[in-house]
Structure 1
Amino acid sequence: MRVDAFDFELPPDRIAQRPVEPRDAARLLCVTADAITDRQVRDLPDLLAPGDLLVFNDTRVVPARLVGRRGAATVSITLHQALALDTWLVFAKPGKRLRVGDRVEFADDFSAEVLEKRPAGDIALRFDRGGAALMTALHEHGRIPLPPYIRGGVADERDRSDYQTLFAREEGAVAAPTAALHFTEDLMAALAAKGIGSTMLTLHVGAGTFLPVKVEDTSDHVMHEELGVLTAETAERINRTRAAGGRIVAVGTTSLRLLESAAGDDGRVRPFEGGTRLFITPGYRFKAIDRLMTNFHLPRSTLFMLVAAFAGLERMQAAYVHARETGYRFYSYGDASLLDPETRP
């Protein structure tokens, strides 16, 4: 499909710069086969049914943006995928001037060596420490890597908590699974009281999620890889829910992508550990999920293509027009939508 089929206009003042408080007070656009209705996230217990299962991504955002020096030159890097305990793929500015073997100094006692420059433009850096020691150094010297449409990507101390979900526990993401930002302890208690369950998977969201689609046709786009884990326990919970007639509700496109990566053609979800490059566009046959809760996405992005594949391109274009005209807040800190599939299997 042509990428410009997924284009739309958005006034800059529709882009949220901070989340609402409390988080479950965010607006929720419900998109079904025959209606578009305005609700709030805190209405979810009334919009779901007993026996349904919410699937959350429990990844935790690390302070993955660093500023260092190579000699006299300043270098800005953003980590986006772990290759080993001490080695990450990064985006660097200016990346072209870095050479294999160069050392980038982030502090007197914290540095990394350039191991490899890849054709796609990312760079493999090996840090002078790994594992928990590296995470400690990132928390000391790094910044939360906000997307560029939020205050130019410059995070402050408030973002260290604002840009983490209630479920964040597995460190490794450089972008938040933003649909889950709307959930509070009170909302989770209300959902549980209604008999609506929840379970976790882990997909470490990479900085590639911010990259624009630069090709003219979706068939020419190369999807970035992200690492994920879906345990046998979670797989069994999902399969039992569906067998009992409950619906699987993916909270966020990251949860959806890992669920679909772990699902067989028979619809059963199996344990998964590894990388996924799943790129979902209209025509894809969904196997593992029944509903999707997600924020509003950028034009011409892989994520808007995904929601169009799930709920229908024309329906999502109409939903986004409604959202723009009625004051919904867009993108990572913005409002959310609850989508039904265009067609049921």
Structure 2
Amino acid sequence: MWRKSDFMYELPDELIARFPLAERSAARLLLARAVSVDEVALADRMVRDLPDLLEPDDLLVFNNTRVLPARLFGQKESGGRVEILLERLKSAHEANAYVRASKSPKVGGVIRIGSAELRVTGRHEALFALYSETPWAELLAAQGEMPIPP
């Protein structure tokens, strides 16, 4: 049986992939084989090894999630620079986000990102509620950047 503690480990920063490899088959692959009911053997392999590793009753788990380009840069009405990191899209036009600026924007304030205007509609602790007349999907596609992993 898998336990959450099985996945707690130190991961050196230099082992975190920031960009896909040019040769995708050279990507690293973690092979997990059941040794017994309570024990799993782990081995580092490469994606190119996969056809030789598969057995008839194996289970493949694919992670096909995409990173949302949820980091935006803009300006407050005062001209001050703002960095926005979307935390949650609530609707096509509403989102919760972390906002970094020399002075936090006020509720009712406007942030410009390119030709788009965001209105600060609320705040709860560190999260700001933002409204965009431009649909978020469109704004992120045009102006969004990939967030840097922590």
Q: Verify same fold: TM over 0.5.
A: yes
- Answer yes or no: is 1:123 the counterpart of 2:128: yes
Is 1:101–2:125 an aligned residue pair?
Answer: no
Aligned residues, how many? 138
CA contact (8 A) 2:80 2:101 kept: no
Q: Distance in 1 between matches of 2:22 and 2:148?
A: 19
1:75-90 superposed matches below 5 A: 75-90=82-97
Counterpart of 2:148 in structure 1 is 146
Matched, 1:47 2:50: no
Structure 1 counterpart of 2:21, which letter? V
Higher relative contact order (CA 8 A, sep 6+): 1
Q: Distance in 1 between matches of 2:139 and 2:127?
A: 22
Gapped regions of structure 2 (runs ≥ 5): 1-7, 34-38
Q: Deviations over 1:164-206 (max 9, x none)?
A: xxxxxxxxxxxxxxxxxxxxxxxxxxxxxxxxxxxxxxxxxxx
Deviation of the 1:7 alpha carbon: 6.1
1:67 counterpart = 2:73:
yes
Whether the 8 Å contact between 2:92 and 2:137 is mirrored in structure 1 is no
Q: Which residue of 2 aligns with 1:166?
A: none
In the TM superposition, what is the alpha-carbon distance from 1:136 to its structure 2 partner? 2.6
Q: Which amino acid aligns with 1:84?
A: S
More helix by share: 1
Alpha-carbon deviations, 1:57-104, whole Å to 9, x = none?
544434321111112211000112111110111111128612211110
Which structure 2 residues correspond to residues 214-225 of structure 1 after superposition, within 5 A? none
The structure whose Rg is larger is 2
| SS of equivalent residue, structure 2 residue 90 | strand
Please tell me whether the aligned partners of residues 108 and 120 of structure 2 are also in contact (alpha carbons under 8 angstroms).
Answer: yes
Whether 2:133 is the aligned partner of 1:114: answer: no
Given that residues 94 and 129 in structure 2 are in contact (C-alpha distance below 8 angstroms), is that contact kept between their aligned partners in structure 1? yes
Helix, strand or coil at the partner of 1:97: coil
Q: Which has the higher strand share?
A: 2
1:147 corresponds to which letter in structure 2?
P
Structure 2 CA distance for partners of 1:129 and 1:17, relative to 1, 3 Å: closer
Tell me the residue number matched to 2:31. 30
Instruction: Tell me: CA distance 1:16–1:55, structure 2 relative to 1, closer, same or farther (3 Å).
Output: closer
Structure 1 residues without counterparts, runs of 5 or longer: 1-5, 149-345
Deviations 1:295-345 (A, max 9, x none): xxxxxxxxxxxxxxxxxxxxxxxxxxxxxxxxxxxxxxxxxxxxxxxxxxx
How big is the alpha-carbon RMSD for the aligned residues of Structure 1 and Structure 2? Answer: 2.9
Counterpart CA distance in 2 for 1:101 and 1:81 is 20
